Structure 1
Amino acid sequence: MTSEIDRTVRLAARALGRHGLVHAYGHCSQRVDAEHFLVCTAKPMITIAPGEAGTLVPINGPLPDGVLGEVRIHREIYRRRPDVGGIVRSMPPRAMSLSALGRTPRVLHGMGSYFSPGAPLWDDPQLIRDDTSAEQLAEMFGDGAALVMRGNGVVTASDSVQSAVVLAWYLEDAARVELDCLASGVPAKPLSHDEATRRATRAGLIFERMWDYLTFGDPER
């Protein structure tokens, strides 16, 4: 079981790197059971080799040696959200630029609908390397799908690490649309609550198809 989770986490990590959602920094994880999650090894995600093991982290305990400090964000979200099975901490460039404006993507297109009524902004550019900050961030994350950190990237969470990766890509696409609309100078027309609710579907293998796209060509597929 853990070996298959390890493989999935490696696929997720390399997909994020391959598609420019992370660079030297970032990490992803998958819940293993009620007490543990598995986080990718602490290195640039695109460089994680086939078979390279991640680290098992206790949900109710200190971070193991060698685990990156911001992995405490994962721990605090898993503690509060038993429905969450996977988390991504990414550095998508357009969402980063938008956050520097003090903004997060509005719900302007289909892929943005999964974040309705909008991802909150953690208005602090500092790294999250203490438990108190991680706890506060997890509280702000609440029951949503994403949170944007001002000048410091994005956190997405879902039922699996595969879905969390897909959401990271969707949020970056929402940021692309937001920036394009802002640059046009023409007022955008956000989706209504009803439009967003109906559009935010997983029917028709929508997430699975995006996962296949993002992991295409990976040696461990």
Structure 2
Amino acid sequence: MSARQIELRRAARALGRHGLVHAYGHCSLRLDAERFLVCAARPMGLIAPGEAGTVVHVHGPLPDGVLGEVRVHQQVYRRRPDVGAVVRSMPPRLMALGTARRVPSPRHGFGAYFGDGIALWDDPQLVRSDAAAARLAEQLGAGKALVMRGNGAVVAAGSIQHAVVLTWYLEDAARVELEVLAAGLQDASVILSAAECAQRATTAGLIFERMWEHLTAGDPEDVHA
């Protein structure tokens, strides 16, 4: 368990260090079919070495001290046995784009990882009921990412490393989308085809590993330090 705690803390601090969360946001990783570990309920960039996350059951009430929106993680894990980690983030460019009920299109390499589509949750309210969390998880479906209008994003992936990297990719896709729109190039800017996305969204060449190394560089619990 100690190794998983460290992994989760490093992920949380990476998200904070790179501006993908601030005072708000949380991440989790699956322990087994019935349990997951969620980071401490405080600003993620401030989570200290040794500060433990909380074990949450996929089915059942949230433990005391766990943030209300962690029920979103529960509902995703219930529906998606392929999901090993969930990140609830507040990326600033994606937040701006979401206010217009828009999600990034796959216009560049990082956007290609969402070529199967990004869901839109058209509600700016906090998700603090099981019913709302269940609807959100259904909206996410089998996808990797969901944009919450004016309220950040949810990313689901096979591992915490992939979830963190995909969150960074999602924000970069929003950056490109906004810059294309600002330049008035939306008609000229090419959106990648499904075939182009499938070819570009590779995991070969240590793609995720290198970005994880970049995002976690300098972490106080760096296992390679």
What TM-score do the two structures reach when normalised by structure 1? 0.99
Tell me whether 1:148 sits opposite 2:147 in the alignment. yes
Q: Which residue of 2 aligns with 1:131?
A: 130
Q: Which residue of 1 aligns with 2:208?
A: 207
Separation of aligned partners in 2, 1:161 and 1:63: 21
- The answer to which of 184-193 and 44-53 deviates more is 184-193
* Contact 1:97-1:151 within 8 A present in 2 as well: yes
Give the AA of the match of 2:126.
L
Tell me whether 1:4 sits opposite 2:9 in the alignment. no
**Superposition deviation, residue 117 in structure 1:** 3.5
Separation of aligned partners in 1, 2:212 and 2:71: 26
Give the AA of the match of 1:193.
A
Q: Which residue of 2 aligns with 1:94?
A: 93
* Contact 1:107-1:117 within 8 A present in 2 as well: no
- The answer to which of 109-118 and 132-141 deviates more is 109-118
**Superposition deviation, residue 116 in structure 1:** 1.1
Give the AA of the match of 2:140.
F
Q: Which residue of 2 aligns with 1:106?
A: 105
* Contact 2:116-2:143 within 8 A present in 1 as well: no
Q: Which residue of 2 aligns with 1:196?
A: 197
Separation of aligned partners in 2, 1:31 and 1:155: 15
Question: How do 1:43-122 residues align onto structure 2 when only pairs under 5 Å count?
Answer: 43-122=42-121
- The answer to which of 68-77 and 116-125 deviates more is 116-125
**Other structure's SS at 2:41 match:** coil
**Other structure's SS at 1:138 match:** helix
Tell me whether 1:27 sits opposite 2:26 in the alignment. yes
Separation of aligned partners in 1, 2:119 and 2:57: 27
**Other structure's SS at 2:56 match:** strand
Give the AA of the match of 2:29.
Q
Separation of aligned partners in 1, 2:145 and 2:192: 18
Q: Which residue of 1 aligns with 2:172?
A: 173
Separation of aligned partners in 1, 2:149 and 2:79: 23
Give the AA of the match of 2:215.
L
Question: How do 1:158-169 residues align onto structure 2 when only pairs under 5 Å count?
Answer: 158-169=157-168
Where do 4+ consecutive residues of structure 1 move more than 3 Å? none
* Contact 1:70-1:129 within 8 A present in 2 as well: yes
Tell me whether 1:216 sits opposite 2:224 in the alignment. no
Separation of aligned partners in 2, 1:33 and 1:151: 32
Q: Which stretches in structure 2 are left out of the alignment for 5+ residues?
A: none
* Contact 2:89-2:154 within 8 A present in 1 as well: yes
Separation of aligned partners in 1, 2:54 and 2:67: 11
**Other structure's SS at 1:217 match:** coil
Output the aligned Cα RMSD.
0.6
Separation of aligned partners in 2, 1:31 and 1:41: 15
Separation of aligned partners in 2, 1:52 and 1:21: 20
Q: Which stretches in structure 1 are left out of the alignment for 5+ residues?
A: none
**Superposition deviation, residue 118 in structure 1:** 2.5
- Residues 144-189 of structure 1, C-alpha deviation per residue, up to 9 Å, x if partnerless? 1100000000000101111100000000000000000001102221
**Superposition deviation, residue 3 in structure 1:** 1.1
Separation of aligned partners in 2, 1:29 and 1:11: 12
